[in-house]
Chains A and B, each alone.
Chain A
Amino acid sequence: MKRLLVPTLAAVVALGLVGLLAYGLLVGAEDDSIEQAVARGNFPPAPSAPLPVLGESATQSVAGLRGKVVVLNFWASWCEPCRAEAPLLERAHKRLTTAGTGTVLGVTYDDSTPASLKFVEDYGMSFPSVRDVGTKLAKRYGTTYVPETFVIDRRGRIVDVFRGPIDQAFIDRALARAQA
């Protein structure tokens, strides 16, 4: 019995290390479960957390916007494609607020407050943005790069998603689906 002790311990340690490796690979893998669910027409509930509004002391969450269409956009001041996307998002925000049906909500990604505020000013972004410190909300959306955009309907479900810079065609299609 005692002779088996050392090999058993070694086997347990080896299995543990293999398990950790497998876990690390799984955790590090890109999460595309939202895209898959949306593609099946099984719109998943939008993850939500109260986050500090950029430049304000208040907090905002996706859940707090229930009843409105939300264009949730992850962005950063250091992200080159986000610059091209900003005017498009601003137009979508004006369209939604004029109709009274929704809003664009920005989420900053690994960005400092001063840099984000300067970006907002430089690109004349009137829509609110929240600060996702530590990218905890981003992880729940499977976001590992910016820009990424999720369109959420009035019932708080993700009805469309685009990982990369969006264009006008995406906004038109997604908003039509969300407002249907």
Chain B
Amino acid sequence: MSRAPLVLAALLLALLPAAALGATPKVDLVDVEDEVMCVTCKVPLNIAEGAQPDSQRALIRDLIAQGKTKAQIKQQLVAEYGENVLALPESEGVGVTAYAIPLVLGAIVLGSLALLVPRWRRRPAAGVATGEPAGPADTATDDTLALSDVDRARLDEDLARYDR
């Protein structure tokens, strides 16, 4: 009888406690610190120094010791310090610009595209040397249609030379 199943079972049993621990990962201070703000100094807590950020860290440590999850800790921090503790722009005052500027820039880009794309599609196809007005770019399905007789002759010569 092979011993492989027994060894496998022993390994699985040995790994069980680790798996159980992995199911409920313990939050550490560093993990929370970089996702919240120091409310007085307005910088991320992980780089803040002083009595107030130390006080925030002490609260986080207490909450970790109570076995709270990261989400619960953040919820408690909001209850204690307000929404500003989250590393998000303020939803009032000058902080609104953090949300507004991307929206405005996006609208400008979309508006510009809506304005410029039809104009670009109406432009004559580049490389037309015949002097005849070119049709809409989407009708020129064959590249050779945009070549003059001289260019076409030169292209044929070049291709023939490469074929030799």
A169, CB-defined interface residue at 8 Å: no
The distance in angstroms between the C-alpha atoms of A134 and B51, with both chains bound, is: 18
The reply to whether the CB of B20 lies closer than 8 angstroms to some CB of chain A is no
Which residue of A16, A28, A110 is within 8 Å of B94 (Cβ)? Answer: A28
* A135 at the B interface (CB under 8 A): yes
Within 8 A of A (CB), among B67-84: 79-84
B108 at the interface (CB under 8 A from A): yes
Determine if B58 is an interface residue (Cβ-Cβ < 8 Å).
yes
Consensus secondary structure, chain A interface:
helix
**With A111-B55, A114-B59 given, is the CB distance from A27 to B79 under 8 Å?**
no
| B108 and A78 form a contact (CB under 8 A) | no
Task: A27 to B97: give the CA distance in the assembly, Å.
Answer: 13
Distance of A142 from chain B, by nearest CB (Å): 14
Contact with B along A11-47 (1 / 0, CB 8 A): 0010010001001100110000000000000000000
Q: A28-B94, A80-B51, A112-B59 are in contact. List 20 more A-B contacts (CB 8 A).
A: A16-B104, A20-B94, A24-B97, A27-B93, A27-B94, A77-B55, A78-B51, A110-B39, A110-B40, A111-B55, A111-B80, A112-B56, A113-B80, A115-B59, A133-B81, A134-B81, A134-B84, A135-B39, A135-B82, A136-B82
| Contact surface of B with A, Cβ cutoff 8 Å | 39-40, 51-52, 54-56, 58-59, 62, 79-84, 93-94, 97, 101, 104, 108, 112, 115
Pair B115/A112 contact, Cβ less than 8 Å: no
List, sorted by A's number, 28 A–B pairs whose CB atoms are closer than 8 Å.
Answer: A5-B115, A9-B108, A9-B112, A13-B104, A20-B94, A20-B97, A23-B94, A24-B94, A76-B55, A78-B55, A79-B51, A110-B40, A110-B52, A111-B55, A112-B80, A112-B81, A113-B80, A114-B62, A115-B55, A115-B58, A133-B79, A133-B80, A133-B81, A133-B82, A134-B82, A134-B84, A135-B39, A136-B82
4 interchain residue pairs of minimum CB distance: A134-B82, A78-B51, A78-B55, A24-B94
Given the complex, which residues of A lie within 8 Å of B51, measured CB to CB? 78-80
User: Which residues of B are found within 8 Å of A77, using beta-carbon distances?
Assistant: 55
Contact B55 A112 (CB under 8 A): yes
Nearest Cβ on chain A to B36's Cβ, whole angstroms: 13
Residues of A within 8 A of B82 (CB): 133-136
Interface residue total, chain A, C-beta cutoff 8 A: 24
Chain A residues with CB under 8 A of B80: 111-113, 133
How far is the CB of B4 from the nearest CB of chain A, in Å? 55
Q: Per-position contact with B for A50-89: 1 when CB-CB < 8 Å, else 0? A: 0000000000000000000000000011111000000000
Chain A, Cβ-Cβ closest to B97 = A20
| Chain A contacts for B84, CB-based, 8 A | 134
List the A side residues contacting B79 at CB < 8 Å: 133
Contacts of A110 in B (CB 8 A): 39-40, 52, 81
